[in-house]
Amino acid sequence: MRKTRLPETPPRLVQDILVERSNTAPSAEAVVDGPVRIVNLDLQTRVDAIARGLLASGVRRGDFVATLAPPSADFWLIFLATASIGAIWQGLNPRYQRNEYRYLLDDAAPKLVFARTEFDGRLYLDELKELAPVGTTFVPLDNAPLDEDSPFCTAGAFIADADLARARAAVEAEDPAVIVYTSGTTGKPKGALLSQRAIVETALANVAWIGRERLASTICPAPINHVGALNNVCMNTFAGGGRIVFFPRVDLAALGALNARELPSYLVASPTAFAMMLAVPGADMSRYSFYEAIIFGGAATPIAYLQEVVKTGAQLSSVYGQTETTGMVTYTPFGSSLEAMSETIGQALAGNQVRIGNDSGVEAELGETGEIQIKGVSVMSGYHNKPDATREAFTPDGWLKTGDLGFVREDGNIVFAGRLKEMFKSGGYNVYPVEVELAICEHEDVAQAVVVAVPHPTFQEVGHGFLLPKPGRTVQPDDVRAFLRERIADYKVPKTWQVLDVFPFLPNGKVDKRTLAARLVQHSS
């Protein structure tokens, strides 16, 4: 049997975790994709075969390798193989449009692109070939995950064990393993480079507080181009020794059936996901009692949601993170109160520090609102091909500027107050939309709320509230307005309102506030 390099202790590279798994639990399930079930030893064999194919295709340390696919075994196999030889993996979302593909392919210039030939009636491989730079190599993906008998892998069979081992031995912990593009809310997306060390140490730190037993299995239906899928879901489960069950889309009925079959122990969710689960007629959260840990973030979570989710019996935690922090980088410990999980994002993940920076560039006082700033192992290496943007992303003393607002409570927990660019001044007062949205969601008829700033002749800006009623309920803005005036200052209460049947969402599950704001502009023009 071919010998594989044993990992150092603790693991430094993504490949080290795979070696550890295949050596310690070779017959344990690692990946499930439809009828395909892959154990750890088979996973190592498949990854080795893909890595040989990459080397045979001319991919070397520091090259980019892109994958366009839904959440699937192929995504995970290609990521592991790419990282194992020191190349940089890039995820492409099937929901992207042509201009988005063109920009991402031009910016990263991947040497090789794996692409699902067809998905949901769209011919992706043909489309990408029209958009990619000249000289890009394409590898079609069909509906069966890559293995040693796949044409791409057989083309690399001549790569000797020693050559594969030599390529892997050259990989360093600080080498970028992944490029993940930001959402581009303030211009063109920027590609954040996440190192092997950041990915591995962040995952191991999360395993330490979540617990391996709670990471026994998970379902991943999330887009592969986000750190939520790659790191929060897959890497945490992978590093914890668990099984990843892939599903190609968010389909509540199908996911419900899959849950019943696979009985996952670990769920990464968002307030939007909770709203969707609770909107199902006859929703009963106690039927999800197989979950042992439910981690949620991405936006402030109304306590009314948590009062239902706690019925699962799972351990709950509110987390915070972003692309540039390799996923979640703060958490509330298991056993925290529902109030703490609704109103705060907890404290820093091991290996990281969090501070609140004020307008003067120094650490804010207790209770003072400022920018959330991060320093530690989880922070990105920088933005690809954007040295100026990289410099601007950090303070002079090396803290990542997240662009998010927060403050520290007396108990040490951090309160997330929203995006720096979403805060607005009304009559000279600072208004933080997240605070107002949480207050609105305390109303018994409201499922979700979004507040955006609109111009005002007297107060410069005021809030406009979008309301999404709970299933079977109706919402009257006048009732909500009166409800708020007993809970928050009058200048924070939105002056105008709209009730919607559905909110637009981004691929990562967050409410698309830009689209809502754009609808307002179009309506008023």
pLDDT of 515 higher than 60: yes
Q: How many residues does the chain have?
A: 525
Class of residue 164 by CB neighbours under 10 A (exposed 0-12, middle 13-18, buried 19+)? buried
The answer to whether 506 and 225 have CB atoms below 8 angstroms apart is no
pLDDT of 522 higher than 80: no
Q: Which of 127-136, 172-181, 505-514 has the highest mean pLDDT?
A: 172-181
Mean pLDDT of all residues in 28-44? 97
Q: Please report which helix (H) or strand (E) contains residue 127, including its range.
A: helix 124-131
> How does residue 523 score in pLDDT terms, banded at 50, 70 and 90?
low
Q: Tell me, what's the pLDDT at 409?
A: 95
Mean pLDDT of all residues in 471-498? 90
Q: Distance between CA 105 and CA 384 in Å, rounded? A: 13
All domains of the chain in start order, with CATH: 14-171 (3.40.50.980), 201-375+401-419 (3.40.50.12780), 424-524 (3.30.300.30)
Distances from the Cα of 501 to the Cα of 69, 351, 390, 454, 470, angstroms: 31, 43, 40, 22, 10
pLDDT of 391 higher than 70: yes
Taking only Cα atoms into account, the Rg of the chain, rounded to an integer number of angstroms, comes to: 23
- pTM of the complete model: 0.85
Class of residue 524 by CB neighbours under 10 A (exposed 0-12, middle 13-18, buried 19+)? exposed
Q: How many Cα atoms within 13 Å fall on the side-chain side of residue 79?
A: 29
- Summarised one tens digit per residue, pLDDT across range 397-414 is 999 999 999 999 999 999
- Summarised one tens digit per residue, pLDDT across range 121-142 is 888 988 899 999 988 999 999 8
pLDDT of 155 higher than 60: yes
pLDDT of 217 higher than 80: yes
> How does residue 15 score in pLDDT terms, banded at 50, 70 and 90?
very high
